[in-house]
Amino acid sequence: MISSFFQLIWIGLASLLGAVVIWAIAPERESVEVCDPGAIKPSEICLADALASESTVVWVDARSRKEYEAVHLPGAILLNTDPGENWDEMLAVAMQSFFDAELVVIYCGKSGCAASEEVAKRLKDSVLGQMGVPVKVLYGGKKALVAAGKL
Amino acid sequence: MFSRLSSIVTLLLLSIAAVAEEDSALTHGGLTFPSTLKIVKASAAENQVTVEFDFINSGREKVFLDALETHCSCLGGEILPKRLYPEGVKPGESGKIRAVFDLGQFRGEVEKTIGVRLAGEEKGKITLRVRVHVPVLFEIEPMTLVWGLGEETEPQVFQIKVTHETPINILSHSMSSANFLYNLKVIEPGRRYEVTVTPESTERAGLGVLQFRTDCDIPKHRNRQAFVVVRKPIPKAE
């Protein structure tokens, strides 16, 4: 009887230790609001729709170079309006991907982080607008990508 | 009492003027900002602009400011007078949020936001916007010429207009792709140019970058570029 009691204690402690280890090493999953395509702004797109699109999608990371270099969606292009960056040079690189894109999706840190809206506006007003390529801002930004396990 | 009333009346009058410029006053968590949008016309050579947003505690309780948030290293914020952070803003007391915008290589219109986060779980934040217009001295219109795959190789034209007070001459120019032939015509030296571009073939998708180096006296306006593209048409149903 006593032996069973101690076994239970040991099992309990081992489970607790396992939980602590998983909590410590598991990648962080940030909470993100559920994206309702009917409720978002016309300039935005839900991650599920962007991923399901049959168009040739080009992803743009509008965060800082430091954040981009730390982690970014595979294939995403860095394009931001930071003053230390040369917009013209970055755009010339991005155009190598844009010229045959059918949809450009831009993300920054999170919803309302403004950087992706800013880049989207500049692209719509210039090259992508003139090429007729739709530009969308990812609803939820990087947080949505992290929550979906894409980053 | 009178001074508090006169401050509120002044702020209200300022808010009415602000609304006329697509701006809006905002009261949140006890703080009233008569203007949450500042529009600045910078000069072509300017590298930094500073704007100030006035605020007043129009509530009955002291308001504590938690932090200023920006999403761009180009925008710095400061609470004035400095003692308001972390001492708090007493009812009737006013202050300013000073935003300093580093323009870097920006040309054209750019807008950035600065968030004023109030202390306390439910207080949230107030978003202030700074919109800066930096003149484009060497205007290329359009910025991109597009041909559809398989289309006729008809020539298309870039129009270039110099809006700077002094003429801007093109010192050199180049095209990155041999598929696009181009001809630069000087309409008015230092003022107007025309570049006619003709693709040799539209059978394959491709991109060309047309680059101009000018003698503009302001370094960040010295080099410009335009794009030429052959591409498949965009599906209309997207």
pLDDT tens for each residue of B173-197 = 999 999 999 999 999 999 999 999 9
Question: Looking at chain B from residue 10 to 39, which residues have their Cβ under 8 Å from any Cβ of chain A?
Answer: none
Tens-digit pLDDT profile for residues A29-63: 456 678 999 999 999 999 999 999 999 999 999 99
Q: Which residues pair with B38 in a beta bridge?
A: B130
Strands (E) in A16-56, as ranges, are 44-45
- What pLDDT is stored for residue A5 in this prediction? 66
Range with the poorest average pLDDT among A13-17, A55-59, B29-33, B89-93 = A13-17
What is the CB-side half-sphere exposure of residue B81 using CA atoms within 13 A? 6
Residues of chain A that touch chain B, judged by Cβ-Cβ distance less than 8 Å: 53, 55, 64, 81-88, 91-92, 95-96, 99-100, 102-103, 108-109, 113-115, 118, 121-122, 125-127, 130-134
What is this model's ipTM?
A: 0.77
Where residue B32 falls among pLDDT bands split at 50, 70, 90? very high
Decide if B159 touches A, using CB distance below 8 A.
no
Q: Percentage of chain A with pLDDT > 70? A: 81
SS3 letters across chain B? CHHHHHHHHHHHHHHHHHHCCCCCCEEECCEEECCCEEEEECCCCCCEEEEEEEEEECCCCCECEEEEEECCCCEEEEEECCCHHHHCECCCCEEEEEEEEECCCCCEEEEEEEEEEECCCCCCEEEEEEEEEECCCEEEECCEEEEECCCCCCCEEEEEEECCCCCCCEEEEEECCCCEEEEEEEEECCCEEEEEEEECCCCCCEEEEEEEEECCCCHHHCEEEEEEEEECCCCCCC
The confidence score (pLDDT) of residue B207 equals 97
**pTM for this entry:** 0.79
How much is the pLDDT for A31?
60
With a cut of 50, say whether residue B111 has pLDDT above it: yes
At A121, the amino acid letter reads: K
Phi, psi of A103 (to 5 degrees): -155, 135
- Average per-residue pLDDT in chain A? 86
* pLDDT, average across residues A115-138: 93
Across residues B131-148, what is the average pLDDT?
A: 95
pLDDT at B215 over 90: yes
What are the tens digits of pLDDT across the range A85-106? Answer: 889 999 999 999 999 899 999 9
Band (B88; pLDDT cuts 50, 70, 90): very high
Q: Taking residues A70-81, report their average pLDDT.
A: 95
Q: Which of B205, B207, B238 sits opposite A55 (nearest CB)?
A: B238
Q: How far apart are CA B51 and CA B98, in angstroms?
A: 6
Residue B144 pLDDT: 96
- Cβ of residue B237 closer than 8 Å to a chain A Cβ: no
